[in-house]
Amino acid sequence: MDHVWIKARMCSMNKSKCIDVDALVDTGATLSVLPRRIAEKLGITIIRTDKVKTGAGMINIDRGVARIFIENMETITEVWVSDIIDRVIIGAIT
């Protein structure tokens, strides 16, 4: 099965910092995921740390809030900020 990639714009809450990315759509992921390097460039504030079950076992992952633009849609949503994942992943609730 092929992967689905989309163009997305990830932004800080006030839209002062934005980054255009190619994002992987993952309907098995609940939240979208930003690599920490992108979250730091955008100034995403960590609001808490979650314990999440993954294929590799339980991990702790930070959570923040971002503004995401996909085509003509804009949403403000909670995102996970990962030290492990190196690409933007768009989750099911985004």
Instruction: Look up the pTM and report it.
Output: 0.90
Instruction: Tell me if residue 93 falls in helix, strand or coil.
Output: coil
**CATH superfamily ID and name for 5-90:** Acid Proteases (2.40.70.10)
Kindly report, residue by residue over 25-84, the tens digit of the pLDDT: 998 888 999 999 999 999 999 999 999 888 788 999 999 999 999 999 999 999 999 999
Q: How far is CA 42 from CA 12, 49, 52, 54, 57, in A?
A: 5, 18, 24, 26, 29
Kindly report, residue by residue over 31-41, the tens digit of the pLDDT: 999 999 999 99
Torsion of CA 15, 52, 86, 77, to 10 degrees: -20
Q: Rounded to an integer, what is the distance from CA 63 to the centroid of its chain?
A: 9
Whole-number Å distance between alpha carbons of 79 and 62: 8
Kindly report, residue by residue over 80-89, the tens digit of the pLDDT: 999 999 999 9
Q: Where are the domains of the chain?
A: 5-90
Q: How confident is the model at residue 1 (pLDDT cuts 50, 70, 90)?
A: low
